[in-house]
Chains A and B, each alone.
Chain A
Amino acid sequence: MSLTNDQLQAVAHLARIAVEDEWSEALRADLNAILDQASRLDDPRLNELEPMAHPLDQTQRMRADTVTETDQRETLMAGAPAQEKGLFLVPKVIE
């Protein structure tokens, strides 16, 4: 298993993480070392096992369809990097 530089850039784009050129070779080596360990999962004993998503094999609990949250807009928005009139500000997306 070896990740090419193009694959690394594609994954970095999916993850919305800019990978600078000076880091990309070292990063690729690290990721390949980590993914190499995944070859342990080729073990044929795994073939017939059911995938396990929850350690107690439970499913998500349902709750009553009632409003429990109060309006905390100002409190929750206080940590936003840029905001105005109750809106999050981002760079212009429509020309």
Chain B
Amino acid sequence: MSTSDSPQGGDAALINASITQLKGWLSAGELSAADLAGAFTQRIDTIDSELNSLISLVAPAEPGGDGALAGIPYVHKDIFCARGTRTTCGSRMLADWVAPYDATVHQRLTESGAVLLGKANMDEFAMGSSNENSHFGAVANPWDTSAVPGGSSGGSAAAVAARLAPFATGTDTGGSIRQPAAFCGVTGIKPTYGRVSRYGMIAYASSFDQGGVIAKSAEDCALVLGEMAGFDARDSTSSDEAVPDYVAALDGSIAGLRVGIPRQWFSDALDPAVGDAVTAAIDELRAAGAEAVEIDLPDADIALAAYYLLAPAEASSNLSRFDGVRFGYRCEDPMDLQDLYERTRSEGFGSEVKRRILVGTYALSAGYYDAFYRRAQKARRLVTEHFQRAFEQCDVIAGPVTPTPAFDRGAHSDDPAKMYLEDIFTIPVNLAGLPGMSVPAGFVAGRPVGLQLIGRHFNEARLLNVAHQYQQCVDWHQRMPSIAAASAHDNREG
């Protein structure tokens, strides 16, 4: 057998295998779930000290079910509660907090047989675009450790890129799956709002938060999303729309597919080299039979302004639960109850979280509500209507995920308003609650570039199909950073 289609190839074969290949080896008895978990755990031990992609390691358990992911290891973004596991949300506030219950996502993955290896680093409370806002330290980009991995699911994306796990969970409130996936050269999907249960997923901005998957390929994303998605009575905004068979939809032809290209996104704000990579990716889709259609998606600046009021407003409400009384951090020797609240929150939250809580509190305060919050909700409608009009002309939208490739660590950390501009192409999708993907589409100066695909509500199957067809024509998603390859020598087999 060749090294590429057998576990006998050692780590190099294991870490590049698709989930379907891994399952084949597991069910043929060529590999045990314990071997597989052990191989990835060993990689984490060897490689992650350079990346800091994981906050906690979890001793791998026996698969809890024999479903579609039986024996497949993964890591959770540390925003998902898993009973008995430390769940920090990247914050000092929850640095020692052990979750007393399971998130629905965790429960479903466990029942499907997936094996948890650890909890991934993230921007504190999912607020950030660089993973520099974590109480547990910044994460390095596996392609270039002087670059950020993106955020807020930066640990998840870095771990998958470095082949520390076959897949990771993530959440996307303003781009937090797609942007790190783009920066780290991996495939990520943010489903439609309501597609994946938010129960047990620590809340940031509840009308935007959506769980999803980061993996090496669209095929793997399809398999995992199929296990995670679906109605959950414990999340009052969960959708009861039926979950289609995402894997079965992968092989459909994209001949005749109308791909909308937002003309406003290919402007001065976009790094020309990123634009070239994205245009080349769109050319691949055309070569596969798709038809490119120019569309209008104006007002990205209004979307950004609206998001950076609405999300902080929701955050200021959600994060009021961290009061030093019921769970998590409490300051030393409080003088009185007021002092307990104020110092606990001042010491327990990092700067960016405090900034957003304050912006949100201000936007919701008496006298400013109409000028800020309500106005921003109207802007949300405007942006959503732009998408509705665009989807009259096309079936999916394709464009950049980010204006530039991964920036250097520290580059924007003193200027939050500038950092927010990183999210200009991802945020409109969250305002409208649409599904979006990031698909590896090349490199600029050694740093990955992502192609963003956006679909109609609940059209994840089509997005995954388009991404999979694209991945049949290119090999960007199979490229591996040298930090992962260097450790992929055969240290498992004798």
Name the residue of chain A whose CB is nearest to the CB of B334.
A91
Please report whether the interface of chain A is mostly helix, strand, loop or mixed according to DSSP.
loop
Docked pose: A92 CA to B379 CA in angstroms: 46
In the complex, A67 has a CB within 8 A of chain B: no
Chain B residues with CB under 8 A of A91: 334-337, 339-340
Q: Which interface residue of B100, B305, B380 has the most chain A CB atoms within 10 A?
A: B305
Chain B nearest CB: distance from A67 CB in Å? 14
Chain B contacts with A in 309-341, Cβ cutoff 8 A:
309, 316, 320, 323-330, 334-341
A56 & B323 in contact (Cβ 8 Å cutoff): no
Chain B residues with CB under 8 A of A14: 361, 365
Chain B nearest CB: distance from A55 CB in Å? 2
Docked pose: A63 CA to B417 CA in angstroms: 41
The tally of residues in A whose CB lies under 8 Å from a CB in B reads 55
A41 & B326 in contact (Cβ 8 Å cutoff): no
Chain B residues with CB under 8 A of A55: 193-194, 207-208, 384, 430-434
Chain A residues with CB under 8 A of B308: 34, 37-38
In the complex, B343 has a CB within 8 A of chain A: yes
In the complex, B489 has a CB within 8 A of chain A: no
Q: Name B417's contact: one of A8, A34, A39, A92 (CB within 8 Å).
A: A34
B337 & A79 in contact (Cβ 8 Å cutoff): no
Interface residues on B, range: 35 or more
Q: Which of B46-54, B126-134, B215-223, B350-358 contacts A (4 or more CB under 8 A)?
A: B350-358
Q: Which interface residue of A8, A16, A53, A80 has the most chain B CB atoms within 10 A?
A: A16
Chain A residues with CB under 8 A of B351: 23
With A56-B193, A80-B327, A81-B325 known as contacts, the answer to whether A38 contacts B372 (CB < 8 A) is: yes
B interface list, Cβ under 8 A from A: 97-98, 100-101, 192-194, 207-208, 233, 236-237, 239, 299, 301-302, 304-306, 308-309, 316, 320, 323-330, 334-343, 345-346, 349, 351, 354-355, 357-359, 361-362, 365, 372, 374-382, 384-385, 415-417, 420, 430-434, 457
A interface list, Cβ under 8 A from B: 3, 7-8, 11-20, 23, 27, 30-31, 33-41, 43, 45-47, 49-56, 58, 60-61, 63, 72, 75-76, 78-82, 88, 90-93
Question: Can you list 28 A-B contacts with CB-CB less than 8 angstroms, sorted by A residue number?
Answer: A13-B342, A15-B357, A17-B345, A17-B346, A19-B346, A23-B351, A31-B359, A38-B309, A40-B305, A41-B375, A46-B375, A46-B382, A49-B382, A49-B385, A51-B377, A53-B207, A54-B237, A54-B433, A55-B384, A55-B431, A60-B236, A63-B236, A75-B101, A81-B330, A88-B325, A91-B334, A91-B336, A93-B337
